Amino acid sequence: MSRETDQKILDMLMPGLELPAPRTEEEFILATQPINPELEELETQIRSETIIAMYLMDQLNLKKKLIHELYEIERALKSEIVERSRG
């Protein structure tokens, strides 16, 4: 598509809004450079939070497994008590 076609589509969707002036690759790189450190910091923060969330999920799963095992032991002991009281 051409810029003219893009602008016609934009005019239909949002009248009065104009496409920004075209940039060279160098202008684009220069315009985005101040953003990059912030993006890198955000990426590092998200990576750290993901690792922490995965660790916490593993811990939760271990605790759930332990609770299930304890429940099974409790059930077996109760069954044994009931059987002894009958016999």
Per-residue confidence of the chain (87 residues) as pLDDT tens digits? 788 898 999 899 999 989 888 889 898 888 888 788 888 999 999 999 999 999 999 999 999 999 999 999 999 999 999 999 997
**Residue 10 falls inside a structural domain:** no
Asked if residue 50 belongs to a domain, the reply is yes
Please state the domain count of the chain. Answer: 1
In a domain, 14, yes or no: no
CA angle 58, 64, 70 (to 5 degrees): 140
In a domain, 15, yes or no: no
DSSP state of 2: -
Q: Cβ(6)–Cβ(19) under 8 Å?
A: yes
Q: Which domain holds residue 63?
A: 22-86
